[in-house]
Structure 1
Amino acid sequence: MSIIKTTVLKPDRADAWDDYVQTHADAHYCHLFNWSRVIGEVYHHKPFYLAAVIRQSAGSQKEEAICGIFPLFRFNALTRKPKFISIPFFDQTGILAKNHAVESVLFAKAIELIENKGASGLEIRQAVPSAFSELLCQKNLRSNVSSIKVSLKVKLGQTHEEMMQKFKSKLRSQIKKGMKNGLESRIGKQELMDPFYTVFSKNMRDLGSPVHSKKLFHSIFKYFYRDAFICVVTYQSQPVAAGFMFRFKSEISNPWASSLREFRHLNTNMFLYWKMIRFACNLGLDRFDMGRSSFGASTYLFKKQWDPEEKQLYWYNWYLDGKQNKVKPESLHIRHWNRLPLVAANSLGPLVRRNISL
């Protein structure tokens, strides 16, 4: 006999959660259980990791198996009521389930959780359209969806030499120009944290955006040491560009990359991305995930030069009070932030960034 129940999974069952993630075809690296620890410990948003469990009875013995998961955080925003997000700061981490029936059970449990915890609503970031219309009608929920963000992934060649030959001549020329300009690179782990964060924090300040806490990246290495990497590009021993990478299954993702404006004429961005792609090829991986971009934005146009596969993302928001049209969209840009001294921006930035879910 099998019975589906939903429960908030405890940390002592993290291995069972991750075993399910590793075997599901649609899993994303942010589905892994330890992200609950990273985000919870660094930014103090409380995780509610929902699991659908099948209870199987065989004689006198009972076994439990996970048949679906739904990672959620109770996210505290700056100027509005808390809401539940799956999951903040990243691109696509929705429900993983055995079938549509299990998906519906998990979604219904999430709505019940939101109602009981006094939250304003639910946000899911996923790579497929929503399939919960019947339940939404029953609950009289109001929703909207943002579909301007896309995922961009580069299909890799068997070797980095083969990959280089796949690029258009203009792109190859720009990469080689970076080499001729004397750029050098190094790929490693947390020993490269200081040069990475030097570039990353300055670039974010110059963009007018609060920076993530350095503790976030240290925490990623704490819980995901094997699969986290940093790439730093230097010019005359000075760090001028840097990227953070995360390996999962046959892909490596680049959620954060930055370069210093005053050195971009040296083709630092092209050189950085080539070095990360080259690294992925040497690891024998299938794809390099360039992360999300808004359609038509400057980052989108830059990434399109690498001939990536493009896939639309769906960011859904469901509101319990029906006032979604009155909610101001989040933004990473803060007026006059780029005028702050770097020391002040790096001190204040994480305090503000923790409450912006983008």
Structure 2
Amino acid sequence: MLSPTDAEWDEFVAAHPDATFFHRAPWRRLVATAFGHKAHDLFVRDEQGRLAGVLPLVEVRSRLFGHALISTAFCVGGGPLARDAASRDALLRQASELGRRLGVDYVELRDTADGADGWVPRSDLYFGFERPIEPAEDANLLQIPRKQRAVLRKALARDLQVTIDRTTEHFFPLYAKTMRDHGTPALPRRYFDLLLETFGGDCEILTVHHEGQAVSSVLSYYFRDRVMPYYTGSRAEARGTGANDVMYWSVMRRAVERGYGVFDFGRSKVGTGPYAFKRNWGFEPRPITHQFHLVRSSELPNVNPTNPKYQLLIGAWRRLPVPVANAISPFLSRSLA
């Protein structure tokens, strides 16, 4: 069966109502280039030879976290897209068969509500946050709960400047330090450069400056009607100046300016600071379901910072000097898919 071209793949994705930014064809090359992981793009065709379903998978091998097929690695979504139930079932069969053939520990489909026989759902780790953005600024402000709105108004009254950047010059140092502070290896700078290069205006960096210094920065994805602030970084003083609040508010207003109408705040784990922060902004959580097909593994994976067995590693990482953490991170973060 003839493999789809990038153009055919993206045409199918563009027409499917459940498609996400993470289904787009360029991810296969980007992940391979940035991390060296192999992409396995599954697909089915109908009797007329037309594309009827797609499922992007990334094969991740890690001494720390095992061997897995993930849709889609380094993303919060992916999963099967199909025109009908038969095509969807065919994609899931292909995924489980590929997992067995490769000898992986498990196959993971992210943000996928429905599985099939032999697939195990898990919905207790992550919650997503999204809502429409009111186009009018005053109405947009009123969407934010009163207490948080007062914090934002105070921050907006400060001397903070906002820029739209087409390089990672301001963003990456803030992101890398924030990741070190959280006890997590940072993704390599090359990855973010590739995101900007690959997706053009659909990937944008917004930075907040205070007294001539970048203090808070966010890389956002734009897809269909929504903006998704995805990677962030900030200096310690960002909290005192309200730079993080101004940053997210500015992303909202920038999205309206560009004609987008939904603010997708991404996923967070229950009981974490980001989860509480998003609730404070008036966003209601929705449970996110991942589907797993266990191949060699006998239990569901638990590769996340809330796992107690990683606490010693996280504590040690936080104590590393930032230059040392940045030097080591690229060798470790490729496994944090």
What residue in structure 1 maps to residue 184 of structure 2?
A: 209
Q: In 2 relative to 1, CA 282–160 (structure 1 residues): closer, same or farther, beyond 3 Å?
A: farther
Pairing partner for 1:181 from 158, 168, 180: 158
Secondary structure at the residue paired with 1:162? helix
Structure 1 residues 278 and 127: alpha-carbon distance in aligned structure 2, compared to 1, 3 A threshold: farther
| 1:243 and 1:258 in contact (8 A); partners too | yes
**Correspondence for 2:115:** 131
Distance 1:270 1:184 in 2: 13
Asked if the contact 2:121–2:289 (Cα under 8 Å) also holds between the matched residues in 1, the reply is: no
Kindly state the Cα deviation for residue 34 of structure 1 after the two structures are TM-superposed: 0.4
Q: Which runs of 5+ in 1 are unaligned?
A: 57-63
Q: Aligned partner of 1:342: which letter?
A: V
CA distance in 1, matches of 2:272, 2:177: 21
> 2: distance between equivalents of 1:187 and 1:226?
11
Query: Residue 50 of structure 2: SS of its match in structure 1?
Result: strand
Gap change, CA 1:168 and 1:334, over 3 Å in 2: closer
For residue 351 of structure 1, what is the aligned residue in structure 2? 331
Q: Kindly tell me: are residues 79 and 263 of structure 1, through their superposed partners in 2, closer, same or farther at Cα, counting changes over 3 Å?
A: closer
Where in structure 2 are the equivalents of 1:155-166 lying within 5 Å? 155-166=132-143
| 1:105 aligned residue (55, 65, 90) | 90
Partners of 1:322 and 1:350 in 2: CA distance = 27
Paired residue for 1:122? 107
- The aligned counterpart of 2:245 is 270
- The verdict on how the C-alpha distance between 1:312 and 1:146 changes in structure 2, with shifts beyond 3 A counting, is closer
Q: CA deviation at 1:342?
A: 1.1
Shift of 1:91: 1.0
For 2:63, give the aligned amino acid. L
Contact 2:106 2:297 in 1 (8 A): no
* Aligned residue in 2 for 1:232: 207
Identity of aligned residues (%): 24
Equivalences for residues 2-17 of structure 1 within 5 A:
9=3, 13-17=5-9
Please, which of 267, 275, 285 is the counterpart of residue 260 of structure 2? 285
- What letter corresponds to residue 203 of structure 2 in structure 1? A
Find 2:220's aligned residue among 228, 245, 270.
245
- Match of 1:60? none
**Residue type of the alignment partner of 1:185:** V
Q: Give the match's secondary structure for 1:349.
A: helix
Partner residue of 1:219 out of 191, 194, 198: 194
Per-residue deviation, 1:117: 1.5
CA distance in 2 between counterparts of 1:181 and 1:145 reads 44
Q: Does 1:77 align with 2:62?
A: yes
TM superposition shift of 1:119: 1.6
Q: Report the Cα offset of residue 231 of structure 1.
A: 0.6
Distance (whole Å) between structure 1 residues aligned to residue 320 and residue 42 of structure 2 = 41
| Secondary structure, counterpart of 1:200 in structure 2 | helix
- Matched to 1:215, the amino acid is R
- Residue identity opposite 1:75 in structure 2: V
Range 330-339 or range 291-300, more displaced: 330-339
* Structure 2: segments with no counterpart, 5+ residues: none
Q: Secondary structure at the match of 1:42?
A: helix
Q: 1:304 aligned to 2:279?
A: yes
Please report the TM-score for the alignment, with normalisation by the length of structure 2: 0.92
- Note the aligned Cα RMSD (angstroms): 1.9
15-24 vs 305-314, which moves further: 305-314
Q: Which moved more, 1:19-28 or 1:301-310?
A: 301-310
Instruction: Tell me the CA shift for residue 65 of structure 1.
Output: 1.3
Give the Å deviation of 1:36. Answer: 0.9
Deviation at 1:183, TM superposition (A): 1.6
Match status 1:341 vs 2:321: yes
Q: Is the 8 A contact 2:54 2:80 kept in 1?
A: yes
2:170 aligned counterpart, secondary structure: helix
Could you tell me how far 1:305 is from its partner in structure 2? 2.0
CA offset at residue 80 of structure 1?
Answer: 4.8
Contact 1:208 1:334 in 2 (8 A): yes
User: Partner residue of 1:61?
Assistant: none
1:53 aligns with 2:38: no
How many angstroms does 1:322 deviate by?
5.1
Query: Is the 1:144–1:324 contact (alpha carbons within 8 Å) kept by the matching residues of 2?
Result: no
Check 1:78–1:255 CA distance in 2 against 1; reply closer, same or farther (3 A cut).
Answer: farther
CA distance in 2, matches of 1:275, 1:187: 10
Corresponding residue of 2:232: 257
In the alignment, the residues of structure 1 paired with residue 177 and residue 297 of structure 2 have an alpha-carbon distance, to the nearest angstrom, of: 40
> Structure 1 residue 255: deviation in Å?
1.2
Structure 1 or 2, whichever has the larger Rg, is 1
Q: 1:309, CA displacement in angstroms? A: 4.5
User: How far did 1:329 drift?
Assistant: 3.3
**How big is each residue's C-alpha offset from its partner over 1:300-326, in whole Å with a ceiling of 9 and x where there is no partner?**
11011222253211122221235216x
Q: Kindly tell me: are residues 247 and 330 of structure 1, through their superposed partners in 2, closer, same or farther at Cα, counting changes over 3 Å?
A: same
Letter in 1 for 2:14: Q
d(CA) in 2 for partners of 1:124, 1:330 = 16
Change (3 A) 1:322 1:198: closer
Q: Distance in 2 between matches of 1:286 and 1:183?
A: 25
- Once residues 326 and 65 of structure 2 are traced to their aligned partners in structure 1, the CA distance between those partners, rounded to angstroms, is 24
